Homo-oligomer: A and B are copies of this chain.
Amino acid sequence: MKKASVTTKKAPKVKKPLTTQKVRNTAKAKKWVYFFGNGKAEGKGDMKELLGGKGAGLAEMTNLGIPVPAGFTITTEACNAFFTSGKKHPPQMWDQVLENLKKVEKSMGMRFGDPVNPLLVSVRSGAKFSMPGMMDTVLNLGLTPATLQGIITRTNNERFGYDAYRRFITMFGTIVMGIDRNKFEHVIEKMKKAKGIELDTDLDAGDLKIVSEEFKSIYKNETGSDFPNDPLRQLELAINAVFGSWFGNRAAKYRKLNGIADDLGTACNIQSMVFGNIGETSGTGVGFTRDPSTGEKKFFAECLINAQGEDVVAGIRTPLHIEELAKKMPKAYADLKKIYQKLEKHYKDMLDIEFTVQEGTLYMLQTRVGKRTAAAALKIATDMVKEKLIDKKTALLRIDPAQIDQLLHPMIDPNSNLKVVCKGLPASPGAAVGRVVFNAEDAEHAAGLNEKVILVRTETSPEDIGGMAAAQGILTARGGMTSHAAVVGRGMGKCCVVGCSAIDINENEKYFTINGSITVREGDAVTLNGTTGEVMLGEAQLVSSVLKGDFQVIMKWADEARKLGVRANADTPHDAKVAREFGAQGIGLCRTEHMFFEADRIRAVREMILSDTREERERALAKILPMQKKDFIGIFREMAGLPVTIRLLDPPLHEFLPHTDEDIQELAREMNVSADRLRAKNKALHEFNPMLGHRGCRLGVTYPEIYEMQVRAIMEAACELAQQKVKVFPEIMIPLVGHVNELKAMRDITVKVADEVKAKYKSKTAYAVGTMIELPRACITSDEIAPYADFYSFGTNDLTQTAYGLSRDDAGRFLPYYIDVKVLAEDPFMQLDQTGVGALMQMAVDKGRKVKKDMKLGICGEHGGDPSSVEFCHRLGLDYVSCSPYRIPIARLAAAQAVLRKAGKDLSKSTV
């Protein structure tokens, strides 16, 4: 190999930063630069603070003896010094850069700026935390008219050379100098138009040569200087740009919003480029150490001979099976095999790798933990335990609980290629295919004919329950992740996409438009992806996942590890059955209002609402009693031996009345009252803010007969089953308590009726009376409330609404924007706001347990199925979480992970 001397030859000509020149001869300077290459790195994997994540990773790989193209990392301290000294390099930094560049040249056998065998480098920023808004990668730095010729000669490919060159000018111009990318792209477009071609790849070497020259003119116009032909000048500018990007607007704003300290600084990585397209002894490839789709233990990789990584990405050539590499370059293949096995052993995980062979020598370009399907995640985790590579604890922590969801719902065939026409919020996972209908009645009618339909509504209301159950999936134009459709959809395990604001529904004429252009009419087929929120026209093929052995193994391990109980939110015997199959240890929330909507009883409910006196109401309630009792018998039976928490009536009464004129007329005829009377009742019951209105225990206080009927139904059901030797543990829950006196009064009523029923049945059936903690005031006065509650269940949906002053039904208008611009890091209805709502919960727990040490505590808000929220509940010391049946496996795994992680560490996918 030739000895490189480019740097020493050219360096004196470079205009060095003044500071460097001034102090270059002082005594021992600080170490600003860390080398990696030749199997040894000055840094290590745990030096992220100093070298950034990327620099530390490159050092770690090098130290493992894995061939990594040589390079060096300029430290975050250098970046900070750069800023504190008015954007000047700290003393001797540049000298150290030059020294290390020499080491790289030596390691690679190439020279920076050499016209025959030129070293090219990549320049990348890399802070301790991955941070959008900072500088991207500049590749091929070191290309000049002189070195370009060397590249062309070495690759024997003029087009490749000019393509690399024009790409470098673009990257340097836009990323380092901040020129508008459109200016460059415009030239390409013009060129293609002039030549009558469509693809960039159709441009030949001559075209690209012209383009490169035009690019350099743009550069001059925009920056006032010639494009630098001095590689060291290129490097200096790129390094300064990396440092400068730390205080760029976007990065600074990102740090501010995410609470990242300004003085962390970013490191800068300079690494030699290697090329897989220098000839038949060169090549490139990507792969996974195991099958990322199934998890099977076999090397899963592809390669291209005489090609660059970009070619794979661009899809110009079809990659070959990795065996081709074994045939053509047995030595490189043998090395690769050793390396990937070594890496997997070192990282103890399935890895995603990228490599390049340059003239027979293998280089690893990237190694990171590989993405995988849920099924693969389960198989790899359990296999690696069998292989004694990891222990059960590590296996459990390896699986993303949210991913488990994939396994429990049908999915769209990955080979399906329907076009996505719009996107809403992924409210309830899975996929659904069906014909569009616009109301619940049509959905039910179609279901009766065994037709598959998708129910499309502006938003759903409790009256739509029947139609939602009958439909394959639900699509709404309004509402957020905890809107009615979302909550009910998840509860049913039914695919649901909500808040799809691109669609505009005309219910009367039964069609909707998408972004004002596409029109979808009743009967047209659509496909929903509830996992991504995507909406497609036409029918996709669906594939259903099976809960395989690995799943059961992981769940068993999770159950061994976790301390939190996991219950289900379930309102019907069917839901209860599903929940039990998924591993529910009881019901944490049985909402009684859903029962009120069923066709056979809504009439009696409306009769009750239209009553003017307590006596009339009691007569109507007497009709509902046997039906509610039957519901409870069904649920108790499914949950035999396990506790069932039943919430007494919660929604405001007006939710049970019809609201459209047509429905009112119909009900009036049916009930033999005047439509005007119904309208008057609607008007009288109208509320400006129903969320904060006459609901929850406020109904029980003003109409005690309603709660009395419900308690009677619960206790009669429990006592009758107890006589049949079915083990029943009813827990009666009073909703929306804000003041202890509300609970006192409702507890008195409950105990009175329950004891009456027990006496009637001569039964000893035990029951508990507790409350939902869902108002800030209840948290604050938890010490007053606790003496009257046998248990608390946190209703974090309403607690989030009230603590934030945020209506979940209305937040769709600004919450997505808040999250886009990072005013909020997460949707607080999806992931528990630990700082605010969590602090209220902590207060309620502390004050409640101070008064009643062993109080049973649970959560039944939607957060009960969110992994980070489950971990928080574990830390809070709750006894159980309760969630939709389909989320139970997620909660079981998350609860186990909560135990396994160090106390106090936050699982939340924090943005930092």
Q: Which A residues form the contact surface with B (CB < 8 A)?
A: 256-257, 687-694, 698, 701-702, 736, 738-739, 741-742, 744-745, 774-777, 780-781, 784, 798, 801-807, 809-810, 813-814, 817-818, 821-824, 833, 835-837, 839-840
Contact = CB atoms under 8 A, between A and B. Distances in A.
Contacts of A806: 692, 738
A781 B839 CA distance: 9
A613 to B, nearest CB: 16
A807 B693 contact: yes
Number of identical protomers: 2
9 tightest Cβ-Cβ pairs between the two chains A and B: A692-B807, A689-B807, A777-B836, A776-B776, A688-B809, A775-B805, A693-B810, A689-B691, A689-B689
A102 to B, nearest CB: 47
Contact of A694 (B256, B810, B840): B810
A700 B824 CA distance: 15
A576 B840 CA distance: 39
A803 B737 CA distance: 11
A701 B805 contact: no
- Scoring A256, A807, A817, A840 by chain B CB atoms within 10 A of each residue's CB, the highest score goes to A807
Contacts of A784: 835
Contact of A801 (B692, B741, B745): B692
Given A739-B823, A775-B805, A781-B835, 8 more contacts: A687-B809, A687-B810, A689-B689, A689-B807, A738-B836, A741-B823, A745-B823, A775-B804
A692 B482 CA distance: 15
Contact of A805 (B702, B802, B813, B821): B802
8 contacts: A256-B744, A687-B807, A689-B690, A691-B805, A701-B823, A736-B805, A739-B824, A777-B836
A730 B836 CA distance: 31
Given A692-B805, A693-B807, A776-B803, A781 B836 contact: yes
A380 B504 CA distance: 71
Given A693-B810, A810-B693, A803 B822 contact: no
Contact of A776 (B798, B823, B840): B840
Given A744-B256, A798-B805, A837 B692 contact: no
A701 B738 CA distance: 31
A96 to B, nearest CB: 39
Nearest to A695: B805
A688 B741 CA distance: 29
Contacts of A687: 807, 809-810
Nearest to A741: B823
A837 B777 CA distance: 7
A577 B425 CA distance: 52
B777 A814 contact: no
Contacts of A777: 803-805, 833, 836-837
A803 B817 contact: no
B814 A702 contact: yes
